[in-house]
Amino acid sequence: MIKKINKTIMILIDGLSFKTAFNEMGFLNHLVEKGIGALYKVETELPPLSRPLYETIFTGVVPCCSGITTNKSIRLSSNESIFHLARDKGLKTSASAYYFLSELYNKAPFDPICDREQMNEKNPIQYGKFYFEDSYPDSHVFVDGEILRKNYDPDFLLIHTMGMDYVGHIYGSNSKEYKAQAGIVDGLLAWFLTAWIDQGYHIIVTSDHGMRNDGLHQGTGEEERIIPLFCISNLFKPGYNDITIPQTAIAPMICEILGVNTSSKMISFNIKVFRNN
């Protein structure tokens, strides 16, 4: 276990397939090419739907065991998430995220008026700005996250965008609109990441699921299940890696970066496999 607390920013780009990330996100791939970042493939759990996979990403628990099996599973998680574990360790947690995350880890059901902004150190997500329209601009999500970072100095910050998913549902994954949205997110990352890297943050960029050209993501195809994992951190060997890891590995990996103990339900995952030394 890495004992040092490493402040971490996680960017969850909803609905981003590996193929699109590799082909369309020039800045992220520039970091990989220049030895600043690493890129891996992740195979998602089934079904490739947002709420069940958020639970898998943040708790390491698969849908059949978590009970969060559809996007209509509106209740608090019964599992310990990264947010719970970090808070219990005395770390600060924060999120600029879609309201599903609030319903999983803070309060369910979501009340747009009362729950849009949440500042409560007893919550797993202690400092949160939660949006509830899928069309909420990705630029606003990033700015909301940066405001939280500057105001509260969290040890773990989640920035969760919905633009890729929203555009993908309307136009499909082979559309110029979907590809252009990937460029928009990449540009936002180019805007913020340089400063975050300079300040010593460990940065994880991934997705929950991909997208089909018919605008759906509910099956078993590669376009739905294979997603990117960019790791911009000196804890990882930089470059392109011909490794596909399970989605259940993300939660214990981030716990190890943060220096907090994993839950009993998280799989064993040793970040040393990918270490830069």
**Tens of pLDDT, residues 218-275:** 999 999 999 999 999 999 999 999 889 999 999 999 999 999 999 999 987 665 556 6
How far apart (Å, rounded) are the C-alpha atoms in residues 90 and 168?
Answer: 39
Assigned domain for 3 exists: no
Please give the pLDDT value at position 242.
86
Mean pLDDT of 35-49: 97
CB atoms within 10 A of CB 142: 19
Assigned domain for 129 exists: yes
How far apart (Å, rounded) are the C-alpha atoms in residues 55 and 261?
Answer: 18
* 63 prior amide bond cis, ω within 30: no
**Residue 171 parent element (H or E):** helix 163-171
Longest Cα separation, the chain? 49
Q: Find the CATH number of the domain harbouring 234.
A: 3.40.720.10
Assigned domain for 114 exists: yes
Domain residues for 82? 8-274
Assigned domain for 1 exists: no
pTM: 0.96
How far apart (Å, rounded) are the C-alpha atoms in residues 240 and 236?
Answer: 11
Assigned domain for 2 exists: no
Q: Which two tokens stand for residue 204?
A: 């994880």
Assigned domain for 118 exists: yes
Residues 6+ apart with CB under 8 A from 36: 197, 232, 238
For residue 75, give the 3-state DSSP assignment.
Answer: coil
Q: How many domains are contained in the chain?
A: 1
Asked if 219 contacts 44 with a C-beta cutoff of 8 angstroms, the reply is no
Assigned domain for 53 exists: yes
pLDDT digits (tens, 9 = 90+) for 44-81: 999 999 999 999 999 999 999 999 999 999 999 999 99
Q: Is the pLDDT of residue 3 over 60?
A: no
Assigned domain for 23 exists: yes
Asked if 56 contacts 207 with a C-beta cutoff of 8 angstroms, the reply is no
How far apart (Å, rounded) are the C-alpha atoms in residues 13 and 110?
Answer: 21
